[in-house]
Structure 1
Amino acid sequence: MDAKVQITVLPGNEDIGVPKKMTDLASGFDLCAAVKESTVLAPGERALIPAGFAMAMPHNLEAQVRPRSGLAYKKGITTLNSPGTIDADYRGEVGVILINHGSELFTVQRGERIAQLVFQWVPHVEFELVDRLEETQRGSGGFGHTGI
């Protein structure tokens, strides 16, 4: 199930280019920071970091912006609203909401890999209004109902 995604590098971001997979079997395409100047994130601070491109996907596809594990583990840098969903009808610049959960200042440099983009199929869903739902053993138990 291959998909064709159209992508355009926004003016002034030719040096950033398009997202790339770092290995042949990687699930995600690395997103790079298209900041005009280095951006410093203090501990607890967040910022919307541009990725320098826009795209058009088929109607049954979504893109998810996810953290990079190395940045999260080594520096405490992750993405808010994770995974962030990019809908098929969005045509603006892709951006990444980064937050610094670390204890030190973190500087986002132009061209630095800051997140990853993973694509997922979106099924067509229709709701069926019913008076009653089928019972299950779990029922309405949630949020730790089976223990911590």
Structure 2
Amino acid sequence: MQIPVINRSHHPLPAYQTAHAAGMDVRANLTEPITLKPLQRALIPTGLFMEIPVGYEVQVRPRSGLAYKHGIGIVNSPGTIDADYRGELKVLLVNLSAEDFVVQDGERIAQLVVARHETAEWQEATELSKTERGTGGYGSTGTK
């Protein structure tokens, strides 16, 4: 699959880091470092603009290394970039650690996963089919 991308950053396009990776690492495109204080969040620009094919989305996911080593996550994880969005891709990072974290220009800040999706229509009903689980919600399947 080919996805048209405008790269207004001075960094390479997102790329898979291993042969069987699902996500491509995307980099921060900054004129100066951004310091995230504990529990602070910020939109980090990437300089990328894309034309995602209809029927697909690009999911923005945290990088496990940043999460484990520094407590850096993504607030709306996974974020979704829709096929009709043409603005700059920005990543909403959050610092969940007790220490400041400095985002540097060119730092790999997130992963992008291209995913197919369906478009659904709601069908109003007055009754739903019965299942063994029924209406059991949060924690209902882990009690045995």
TM bucket (normalised to shorter chain) is over 0.9
- Give % identity: 48
Structure 2 unmatched ranges of 5 or more: none
Structure 1 unmatched ranges of 5 or more: none
Separation in structure 2 between the aligned mates of residue 122 and residue 56 of structure 1, nearest angstrom: 16
Matched, 1:141 2:136: yes
Q: TM-score, normalised by structure 1?
A: 0.92
Q: How many residues align?
A: 143
Look up the equivalent residue of 2:113 and give its one-letter code. V
Separation in structure 1 between the aligned mates of residue 62 and residue 12 of structure 2, nearest angstrom: 20
Q: Give, in angstroms, the shift of residue 132 of structure 1.
A: 1.0
Report Cα offsets for 1:65-85 as digits up to 9, x if no partner.
000000000111111100001
**Over 4 Å off, 4+ runs:** none
Q: TM-score, normalised by structure 2?
A: 0.94
Separation in structure 2 between the aligned mates of residue 147 and residue 136 of structure 1, nearest angstrom: 17
Report Cα offsets for 1:22-67 as digits up to 9, x if no partner.
1121110101001211000111111000111100011110010000
Look up the equivalent residue of 1:82 and give its one-letter code. S
Q: SS of the residue aligned with 1:71?
A: helix
Separation in structure 1 between the aligned mates of residue 12 and residue 30 of structure 2, nearest angstrom: 13
CA RMSD between the two structures: 1.2
- 1:4 aligned residue: 2
